[in-house]
């Protein structure tokens, strides 16, 4: 598989280089040149297969010829051995024809483990072969950080620097990062919000000299391999509910647009998906752009679903690539507008195309809380606030009750215990492997919202 940049001015790369590079050198994101296609018979053959076997079939075309099928099989087995459920991502039923896909059974209790556990082993495989080492720098609104740290801690192939907005991630989220004391892990609490952190990381990537100096690499959701790993669970869950002979719909709590974009990829690869619902909290830039075409960056407003408290949604650029039929010039023009004026507009055929692919809706804080409460009262199940945003959006936007509606559950309720306890009276317990999280010592440094300070911190710690 060959990959091209959404902005059309970076070299075409194979899978290994795309994995290690993260952001393309022209500032764009890598996307596959053409998508593998799965026929109805191919998809039917997934019935009864375990998650790992479907993963192998779905991902092999994306990694070949750089990684052999045998090597990939081994990587997949290792990656998902850390999950606490043998189904890896089990489905539970929440109402007549409503389902919840539990993506939080990995080590850090959020869906990001599904991709990042795999990425850790992919990095190890490639870098060990090449005898190289990389520096990973990332920004987190809470969940990426711990999942990324968990995937590279104690590995000889990587040094990781993770920026989080000081005071804006939950205690559980912070401790999941800062209690990892491995010498190759560096946590930084930045004076600013998540978008500030993300902008600093982007700026590092755009500083090509520094980028080469430290062999910079990314594991945030701009990395194509994360999207690739997330495509798998759309296939497994749809097949479990009757695909390809029955279509299914998805509601996806969305921030950086990586998870829902993976759903769109699955659809383009042949999976019969009826609705793809983009569910946002009151930071609704995605709902706005997908309904009116207006992508104007506003101020981040903190909510009880903090992993979606963002205004700049990195993977949206990949959708622009699809909407403009791969014309890099158009994507570049819009992204330049965004840098210059904090805004761009899509209209005409592109906006209509986007509306045909996605439904989008914003869910209020009150509705999020009411949904946590209602699901608990109706089923006894505790869901986290991000999941609740998706469940509510599914309820509001579902146009076809006969089609199974799957809400992606992106975090374990114990990751956001206060919000859950407030409305249900139940304190969600941390799983056994994390029960002593609040007794473990923490290690992190404070950093100003300043690019030079970040650079010298990294230089000083390599």
Active site residues: 112
Residue from 55, 110, 188, 372 in contact with ligand PLP (CB under 6 A): 110
Single out the residue of 294, 136, 143 nearest to residue 219, CA to CA.
Answer: 136
Secondary-structure percent of the chain, ordered helix, strand, coil, rounded to 5:
50, 15, 35
Q: Which residue, 159 or 309, is less far from ligand PLP as judged by CB?
A: 309
273 counts as binding ligand PLP under rule CB under 6 A:
no
CA-to-CA distance for 421 and 254, rounded, in angstroms?
23
Print the binding letters for residues 442-461 with ligand PLP: x by CB under 6 A, - otherwise.
--------------------
1 counts as binding ligand PLP under rule CB under 6 A:
no
Positions in 12-41 near ligand PLP (CB under 6 A):
none
What number of chain residues touch ligand PLP (CB under 6 A)? 16
Q: Which residue, 106 or 258, is less far from ligand PLP as judged by CB?
A: 258
Cα dihedral 24, 203, 255, 149 sign: positive
Q: Please, what is the minimum distance in Å from the beta carbon of residue 238 to ligand PLP?
A: 19
Which among 127-135, 253-261, 365-373, 424-432 is the span making contact with ligand PLP, rule CB under 6 A? Answer: 253-261
221 counts as binding ligand PLP under rule CB under 6 A:
yes
255 counts as binding ligand PLP under rule CB under 6 A:
yes
CA dihedral 60, 65, 67, 69 (to 10 degrees): 50
162 counts as binding ligand PLP under rule CB under 6 A:
no
Tell me the CB-side half-sphere exposure of residue 97, using CA atoms within 13 A: 15
Residue from 256, 267, 275, 407 in contact with ligand PLP (CB under 6 A): 256
Q: DSSP code of 98?
A: E
138 counts as binding ligand PLP under rule CB under 6 A:
no
Q: Which residue, 155 or 412, is less far from ligand PLP as judged by CB?
A: 412
Q: Please, what is the minimum distance in Å from the beta carbon of residue 160 to ligand PLP?
A: 18
103 counts as binding ligand PLP under rule CB under 6 A:
no
166 counts as binding ligand PLP under rule CB under 6 A:
no
H or E element that contains 190: strand 185-190
Positions in 381-440 near ligand PLP (CB under 6 A):
386, 410-411
Single out the residue of 184, 222, 180 nearest to residue 201, CA to CA.
Answer: 222
Q: Which residue, 102 or 159, is less far from ligand PLP as judged by CB?
A: 102
Q: Please, what is the minimum distance in Å from the beta carbon of residue 110 to ligand PLP?
A: 4
**Is residue 413 within 8 Å of residue 382, measured between CB atoms?**
yes
β-pairing, 294-296 vs 3-5, is unpaired
Which among 3-11, 255-263, 355-363, 440-448 is the span making contact with ligand PLP, rule CB under 6 A? Answer: 255-263
Both tokens assigned to 105:
């059974």
Burial class (CB in 10 A: 0-12, 13-18, 19+), 45: middle
307 counts as binding ligand PLP under rule CB under 6 A:
yes
CA-to-CA distance for 427 and 418, rounded, in angstroms?
8
β-pairing, 98-102 vs 91-95, is antiparallel
Q: Please, what is the minimum distance in Å from the beta carbon of residue 3 to ligand PLP?
A: 19
Single out the residue of 114, 118, 119, 166 nearest to residue 139, CA to CA.
Answer: 166
Q: Is 117 left (phi over 0), alpha (psi -120 to 50) or beta?
A: alpha
291 counts as binding ligand PLP under rule CB under 6 A:
no
**Is residue 442 within 8 Å of residue 179, measured between CB atoms?**
yes
Residues engaged in binding ligand PLP (CB under 6 A): 110, 112, 143, 221, 253-259, 307-308, 386, 410-411
């Amino acid at each position: 598989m060959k990959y091209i940049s959404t902005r059309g001015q970076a070299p075409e790369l194979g899978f290994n280089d795309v994995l290690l590079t993260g952001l393309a050198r022209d500032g764009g994101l890598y996307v596959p040149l053409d998508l593998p296609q799965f026929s109805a018979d191919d998809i039917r053959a997934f019935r009864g297969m375990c998650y790992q076997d479907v993963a192998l079939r779905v991902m092999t075309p994306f990694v070949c010829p750089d990684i052999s099928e045998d090597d990939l099989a081994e990587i997949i087995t290792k990656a998902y051995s850390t999950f606490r459920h043998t189904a890896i991502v089990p489905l539970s039923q929440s109402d007549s024809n409503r389902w919840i896909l539990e993506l939080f059974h990995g080590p850090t209790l959020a869906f990001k483990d599904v991709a990042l556990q795999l990425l850790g082993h992919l990095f190890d495989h490639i870098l060990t072969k090449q005898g190289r080492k990389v520096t990973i720098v990332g920004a987190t609104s809470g969940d990426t950080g711990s999942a990324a740290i968990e995937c590279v801690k104690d590995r000889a192939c990587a040094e990781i620097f993770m920026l989080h907005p000081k005071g804006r991630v939950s205690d559980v989220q912070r401790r999941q990062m800062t209690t990892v004391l491995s010498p190759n892990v560096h946590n930084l609490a930045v004076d600013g919000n998540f978008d500030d952190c993300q902008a600093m990381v982007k700026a590092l990537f755009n500083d090509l000299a520094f980028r080469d100096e430290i062999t910079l690499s990314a594991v945030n959701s701009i990395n194509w391999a994360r999207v690739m790993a997330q495509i798998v669970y759309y296939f497994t869950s749809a097949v479990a509910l009757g695909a390809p002979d029955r279509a299914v719909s998805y509601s996806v709590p969305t921030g950086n647009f990586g998870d829902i974009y993976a759903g769109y990829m699955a659809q383009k690869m042949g999976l019969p998906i009826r609705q793809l619902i983009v569910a946002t909290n009151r930071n609704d830039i995605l709902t706005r752009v997908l309904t009116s075409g207006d992508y104007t960056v506003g101020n981040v407003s903190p909510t009880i679903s903090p992993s979606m408290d963002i205004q700049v949604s990195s993977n949206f650029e990949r959708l622009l690539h699809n909407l403009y039929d791969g014309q890099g010039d158009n994507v570049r023009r819009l992204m330049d507008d965004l840098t210059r004026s904090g805004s761009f507009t899509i209209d005409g055929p592109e906006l209509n195309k986007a509306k045909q692919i996605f439904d989008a809706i914003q869910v209020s804080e009150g509705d999020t809380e009411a949904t946590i409460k209602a699901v608990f009262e109706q089923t006894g199940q505790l869901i986290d606030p991000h999941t609740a945003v998706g469940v509510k959006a599914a309820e509001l936007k579902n146009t076809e009750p006969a089609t199974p509606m799957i809400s992606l559950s992106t975090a374990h309720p114990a990751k956001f215990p206060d919000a859950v306890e407030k409305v249900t009276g139940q304190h969600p317990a941390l799983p056994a492997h994390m029960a002593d999280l609040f007794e473990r010592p923490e290690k992190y440094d404070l950093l100003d919202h300043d690019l030079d300070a970040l650079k010298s911190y990294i230089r000083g710690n390599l």
